[in-house]
Chain A
């Protein structure tokens, strides 16, 4: 049986070329492949002979003659040592001669460039010299001179990106054969990006993917959004790491990642039918290469982070003036301080990450082992995050028909975050830092936290320091698989995946220092959760190549079992502040204990057929039948088909002679993806316990939701048309995609109901959504001399529109004291800002004026006067990476931006309203004071009155930005220097993140969102922890 060995690589060749270990070559195929390689490097005549002999004799009877033959070849090459001479030759490709090919004698600086006819000539070489032929867009070749005087070299087109193996659902494909919209973020993009989250690595590198960090907290996950919102609530794509569906991306260690594939259209994601509607992010972690010696890599970086800008607030004097205007008097000498709360709360953060990994392989085994320690102290007081993890990846070929492997990760993660998106008086630390008056200091004499002079609103340390808190997870993710070659061309693969996560959150407020702690006489909260995922995938693949036909078929059954358990308990009444565990509390009420366990199960039958004719016409069809326990018996199963086709025009005769086109492919796809992003048991009418009352013999119960057997799969139909081309020998490569996504029966768990129903919301197939977009990606190699410069630019445009709505509208994005700020309505984009039109300040009385529905001025507009006042959806987003290298130096500059998106700077409601004893932003120095003042800042308000600060155009800002996201300068130490100390590679680098931001947005950071990925509440910044500027130094050492 002849096995194709895909893991064949250069290293094995080297070993054999030196004439050692022939006896190890027991696998005939292995030998054959090696010979083919050798053939390329030897004289053509010999090749022909050898090949003929081999193919005729070896394949049939496996005779040992072959060894002999190779022995002869090598003996011959050994015998021509130590004679200097001149060598000439011609370099060509399959279309003709190649001028400008660089020819270098390995290990020296001696070299030449082939002339216009592709001819080169190098003198003073000897037989054991090796010539390196390199030419942009072609595979470089190393050829030992041997005893020939003339070398005619045929370079093969590198088309690296075309031959790149892309991981797709339940399989791989070469880029050239892909007919759907798949983006790949590979090694080049991943190296030297000192980042703690995978999502951050993807954003800006590929079009159609937008990352939203709801805040810059160290422990905050980053959500990705692929091609607009096709779902409500959770927009997250499906993350699959080495075949395991991952629910919390924070557990993925970016340093372990080899490659990321992003399946954007329906056809590519269809194989993940049930969960692929938001796109799929497939992450492959590293694995050693066959036949390589163990390689040790140590990657370590550390850096500092800080909040990029601070806000101007009133100083003590100005604050006293404002309070006097508001009618607040006090004996100010009791408040003599001049505290800068932002200085106190914002601090210099420190990040460090150290990873040690080991990888390698023999001819049957490949492995990768890594251990990582990451530790971050955030840029806001008390925040931190820490992760220790290890990973073992192992593949083993047992024999010629069985291969097994495993991917195992264990993570220990913990973080401490602060309450950021709350008002100052509710413990919001960011807003607290702005609105806490400078006139107080941190602690009172008795050790309690100070409060506002006029209200018992504690300073921001009360929640940052007065609450001991922490979140911890311990997570095991593992998968074991076996691959069997059943019959000729058939492969059966069985894979068992497990993810088990234990999540703890603990909080303790001591009974003395804070008001809330004193109220409860100390309060502790403990939550314990476990999450368990078991996936069992069984697939059979059929692969056949004959003549011009290439067929690959896949069928399989996937089962997924989920189980969540959560227990939480609140205890109050503590005798001391020393022991903060719930057991030390003296009061635990029935309501303060809760247990929740739920399960979900999915089953899918999958199938896919790929057919290619002459690598020119490519077709893929897939069909998936999915069942999910979250739906009632009548709607449990959904059917999700997809088709896609590609046409490689560059393979057609009429383009064969067009040299400047290397590859040109048209592709088109259509498909349906499903989604079931709702709670387990959603279709059932659940009954809630715990509604107790001190009468009767039992606890009370009540209906929790409305039974709904008609709940069904959310379906996204997507059409994609794409064009890939590669020009000028790969110096320019481009992908263009246009798509239209129509999502029907969008599932929404918070589908608001009129409260008269007795329920606040219901889970329902609430709406229809349309997303249309355009994506453009261009990679160019601008300069390719000793100095190299390459660029990657991508831009994406997405428009969404609500095409169906089962409720009149969805109001969301609620801001404390102001109500809902966003509205989602039929035939409009999601999450439009909804409020009043600010019409300036009345110079006579300082009151804010607004426009009524019929454009009259009013101080007190009605709800009916609200309009759409802004759009958080960007016109386009883009990323631009430039990479410069010279000798060992490499500089990468990554810019990323978003244009045309609005933001409600909701923090300003708290810092500009002048209706409370809060400190305010320096903007209010321009407030209206006396009749006749012309200003756009209204005068003071009655305490609590919000008429001057309603949600209005006044607070809507343009949040377009261009950000210098990262700049990395690295230096690879010269390899000949390193060789002396037996080091394979040493790179030192410095990275700056979020170095500069060009924006008109007045808040801390235009890139955050208080409501995270919530599709109906986008573009609101209410005291959100900003992303920080980081300066990082790192070293990457390979032994």
Chain B
């Protein structure tokens, strides 16, 4: 008994010696920032993490869906379709700051930007000589491009936004309440990042797949051209220079001879493609085909989104642009009510059908173009027109028209800068319908307000034309209310 007693007491005393070092616990299923970016492979992984924003994470909804809502539904190309009240609001250009689709994308862009900033800060610290020699420049170039790409979408949506060019390291108010920069400043940052990217990036990567998946000098030039034209004071010469640089790329971008092949789902990463979101159906699958395709071409029987408008269908028909109409749109009789196409069940309704092969809900392998040479050719026309080189500009438009068996622009369409501007805008609408370009085109050309206010779309339920009530305040989206609530230094309006 005595032995037992002593034993128990000893155990008790041992138990009293708690070990404070044991409170140092390391995560088991995730690494920490202290060690996660030390190796070349880890930097590559961090870079993949930035690309991931195209197909996964918070940006998935934007690049597969809402890009088209904010560019095509908001403009004259489409009605919202579907059943989401906040998208009806987008259709009616009645987008309030509390519309949750704003805050979601705002956050997703900055998340991607933070990831890019992380790569830009961490990659130069890698000591590995082989990495420094062979990959460091490219990695930096890719990260600069990716940061610029996301800022481009932010500035075109919201105008001036806070410029964040380093990772957030503390939550002290002075570190997190970043005020908005002006759009001029944001474009300057975008162009400066792109200049660096152009110098650091190769024309091509060893495989065509990577050349179309990763940032290249061509992609950086293409985006720089777009940014130079889109910014408040366009720089036509700079845009043209970048386009020429792109055309000199050893990636050999050219127009596909058959417009249909751009969208038939079996010519991905083609010569016209500059950058695509890659969907393999495994790591990422696309739901864009499911959300747009008619019930007969997808599993979902519900009312699909982004219904082509009478206005754009009429334009295709008036232009006799049958090639692009059939490549873009598919009509089908539906069992729901469409307030524009048929106010009773069984009506024939058009569907956006540029992205095919719906599989399941989000298992489609159909890629999305992020940058396509066809767009750049028409931007070249814009730049040339801006530089008063009307003949060369017209030639570029006609390249695009010839491919779809349309005659060259008429003299009336091309004999004045203003007429040619409208012809190019029109051509872009047909060429790039439902590719997420239209609203920016209207804004860039100063046509958004008149176009939307002159638009005649009849709501069959009331028999009246929709009043889109477009005003200058609505050219850009409001800063999300949640963000304004969280950052007192954000002021509303355009900057």
Contact A944 B88 (CB under 8 A): yes
In the bound complex, CA of A792 to CA of B471 (Å): 66
Contact B85 A944 (CB under 8 A): yes
Is the CB of B1 closer than 8 A to any CB of chain A?
Answer: yes
**Contact of A751 (CB < 8 Å), options: B33, B92, B98, B171:** B171
In the bound complex, CA of A521 to CA of B290 (Å): 13
Contact B167 A700 (CB under 8 A): no
Is the CB of B408 closer than 8 A to any CB of chain A?
Answer: no
Is the CB of B266 closer than 8 A to any CB of chain A?
Answer: no
In the bound complex, CA of A633 to CA of B25 (Å): 11
Contact A695 B361 (CB under 8 A): no
Interface centre among B4, B23, B344 (most CB of A within 10 A): B23
Within 541-571 of A, Cβ neighbours of B (below 8 Å) are at 557, 559
**Contact of A757 (CB < 8 Å), options: B89, B118, B168, B210:** B168
**Contact of B36 (CB < 8 Å), options: A456, A518, A603, A687:** A687
User: How many A residues have CB within 8 A of the partner chain?
Assistant: 105
Contact B300 A694 (CB under 8 A): no
Given the known interface contacts A455-B336, A599-B25, A756-B487, the answer about A686 and B56 at a Cβ–Cβ threshold of 8 Å is no
Q: Which residues of A contact B97 (CB under 8 A)?
A: 863
**Contact of B214 (CB < 8 Å), options: A695, A757, A806:** A695
**Contact of A945 (CB < 8 Å), options: B23, B28, B88, B118:** B88
**Contact of B485 (CB < 8 Å), options: A401, A627, A808:** A808
Is the CB of A53 closer than 8 A to any CB of chain B?
Answer: no
Q: Which residues of B contact A759 (CB under 8 A)?
A: 111, 114, 168
Contact with A along B455-489 (1 / 0, CB 8 A): 00001111000000000000000001111111110
Is the CB of A596 closer than 8 A to any CB of chain B?
Answer: yes
Q: Which residues of A contact B173 (CB under 8 A)?
A: 806
Instruction: Using CB atoms, name the residue of chain A closest to B161.
Output: A756
Interface centre among A536, A601, A693, A753 (most CB of B within 10 A): A693
Report B478 CB to chain A, min CB distance, Å. 9
Within 154-176 of B, Cβ neighbours of A (below 8 Å) are at 161-162, 164, 167-171, 173, 176
Within 27-73 of B, Cβ neighbours of A (below 8 Å) are at 27-34, 36-37, 41-42, 44-52, 54-57
Contact with A along B86-109 (1 / 0, CB 8 A): 111100100011101001001100
Contact A758 B164 (CB under 8 A): yes
Contact A706 B168 (CB under 8 A): yes
Q: Which residues of A contact B301 (CB under 8 A)?
A: 456, 515
Q: Which residues of A contact B164 (CB under 8 A)?
A: 756-758
Contact with B along A801-816 (1 / 0, CB 8 A): 0000011110100000
**Contact of A456 (CB < 8 Å), options: B24, B302, B459:** B302
Within 254-309 of B, Cβ neighbours of A (below 8 Å) are at 278-280, 282-285, 290, 299-303
Given the known interface contacts A706-B170, A944-B89, the answer about A590 and B28 at a Cβ–Cβ threshold of 8 Å is no
Contact A694 B278 (CB under 8 A): yes
Is the CB of A752 closer than 8 A to any CB of chain B?
Answer: yes
In the bound complex, CA of A817 to CA of B169 (Å): 34
Q: Which residues of A contact B89 (CB under 8 A)?
A: 944-945
Interface centre among B50, B98, B100, B278 (most CB of A within 10 A): B98
Instruction: Using CB atoms, name the residue of chain B closest to A688.
Output: B30
Contact A589 B282 (CB under 8 A): yes
In the bound complex, CA of A419 to CA of B23 (Å): 39
For this complex, into which size category does the number of interface residues on chain B fall? 35 or more
Instruction: Using CB atoms, name the residue of chain B closest to A915.
Output: B85
Instruction: Using CB atoms, name the residue of chain A closest to B214.
Output: A695
Stretch from A118-126, A159-167, A243-251, A323-331 contacting the other chain: A323-331
Is the CB of A697 closer than 8 A to any CB of chain B?
Answer: yes
Q: Which residues of B contact A686 (CB under 8 A)?
A: 27, 30-33
Is the CB of B83 closer than 8 A to any CB of chain A?
Answer: yes
Within 675-695 of A, Cβ neighbours of B (below 8 Å) are at 680-681, 684-689, 691-695
Within 1-35 of B, Cβ neighbours of A (below 8 Å) are at 1, 4-5, 8-9, 11-12, 15-20, 22-34
Is the CB of B213 closer than 8 A to any CB of chain A?
Answer: yes
Is the CB of B110 closer than 8 A to any CB of chain A?
Answer: yes
Is the CB of A399 closer than 8 A to any CB of chain B?
Answer: yes
In the bound complex, CA of A457 to CA of B16 (Å): 62
In the bound complex, CA of A700 to CA of B52 (Å): 7
Contact B171 A519 (CB under 8 A): no
Contact with B along A463-486 (1 / 0, CB 8 A): 000000000000000000010101
Contact A702 B49 (CB under 8 A): yes
Is the CB of B230 closer than 8 A to any CB of chain A?
Answer: no
Contact with A along B409-436 (1 / 0, CB 8 A): 0000000000000000000000000000
Contact B16 A538 (CB under 8 A): yes
Is the CB of B115 closer than 8 A to any CB of chain A?
Answer: yes
Report A660 CB to chain B, min CB distance, Å. 50
Is the CB of A703 closer than 8 A to any CB of chain B?
Answer: yes
Q: Which residues of B contact A627 (CB under 8 A)?
A: 20, 23
Contact B110 A755 (CB under 8 A): yes
Within 44-83 of A, Cβ neighbours of B (below 8 Å) are at none
Interface centre among A536, A595, A627, A686 (most CB of B within 10 A): A686
Q: Which residues of B contact A932 (CB under 8 A)?
A: none
Contact B171 A703 (CB under 8 A): no
In the bound complex, CA of A521 to CA of B299 (Å): 9
Instruction: Using CB atoms, name the residue of chain B closest to A324.
Output: B461
In the bound complex, CA of A945 to CA of B87 (Å): 10
Q: Which residues of B contact A597 (CB under 8 A)?
A: 28-29
Is the CB of B394 closer than 8 A to any CB of chain A?
Answer: no
Contact B107 A698 (CB under 8 A): no
Is the CB of A974 closer than 8 A to any CB of chain B?
Answer: no
Contact B486 A807 (CB under 8 A): yes
Report A557 CB to chain B, min CB distance, Å. 5
Q: Which residues of A contact B210 (CB under 8 A)?
A: 695
Contact with A along B351-379 (1 / 0, CB 8 A): 00000000011010000000000000000
Contact A681 B486 (CB under 8 A): no
Q: Which residues of B contact A601 (CB under 8 A)?
A: 22-23, 25
Contact with B along A588-617 (1 / 0, CB 8 A): 011100011111111101000000000000
Report B486 CB to chain A, min CB distance, Å. 5
Given the known interface contacts A519-B299, A599-B25, A752-B486, the answer about A694 and B284 at a Cβ–Cβ threshold of 8 Å is yes
Is the CB of B345 closer than 8 A to any CB of chain A?
Answer: yes
In the bound complex, CA of A944 to CA of B466 (Å): 14
In the bound complex, CA of A616 to CA of B80 (Å): 77
Is the CB of A819 closer than 8 A to any CB of chain B?
Answer: yes
Is the CB of A977 closer than 8 A to any CB of chain B?
Answer: no
Report B32 CB to chain A, min CB distance, Å. 5
**Contact of B51 (CB < 8 Å), options: A695, A751, A755, A758:** A695
Is the CB of B113 closer than 8 A to any CB of chain A?
Answer: yes
Contact A603 B84 (CB under 8 A): no
**Contact of B482 (CB < 8 Å), options: A484, A688, A698, A820:** A820
Is the CB of A629 closer than 8 A to any CB of chain B?
Answer: yes
In the bound complex, CA of A811 to CA of B284 (Å): 33
In the bound complex, CA of A701 to CA of B113 (Å): 14
Contact B49 A701 (CB under 8 A): yes
Is the CB of A800 closer than 8 A to any CB of chain B?
Answer: no
Instruction: Using CB atoms, name the residue of chain B closest to A399.
Output: B1
Given the known interface contacts A597-B29, A700-B48, the answer about A329 and B343 at a Cβ–Cβ threshold of 8 Å is yes
Instruction: Using CB atoms, name the residue of chain A closest to B344.
Output: A329
Given the known interface contacts A605-B18, A702-B118, A863-B481, the answer about A756 and B9 at a Cβ–Cβ threshold of 8 Å is no
Is the CB of B178 closer than 8 A to any CB of chain A?
Answer: yes
Contact with B along A687-729 (1 / 0, CB 8 A): 1110111111111111110111000000000000000000000
Q: Which residues of B contact A214 (CB under 8 A)?
A: none
Is the CB of B332 closer than 8 A to any CB of chain A?
Answer: no
Q: Which residues of B contact A752 (CB under 8 A)?
A: 482, 486
Contact B28 A598 (CB under 8 A): yes
Q: Which 5 A-B pairs have the closest CB atoms?
A: A327-B461, A758-B114, A456-B302, A944-B88, A685-B33
Q: List 11 A-B contacts (CB under 8 A).
A: A455-B303, A684-B34, A693-B48, A693-B284, A695-B278, A702-B49, A707-B33, A754-B162, A755-B103, A757-B171, A819-B100
> Known pairs A486-B9, A602-B23, A691-B56. 5 more at Cβ < 8 A?
A589-B283, A595-B29, A686-B30, A695-B210, A944-B83
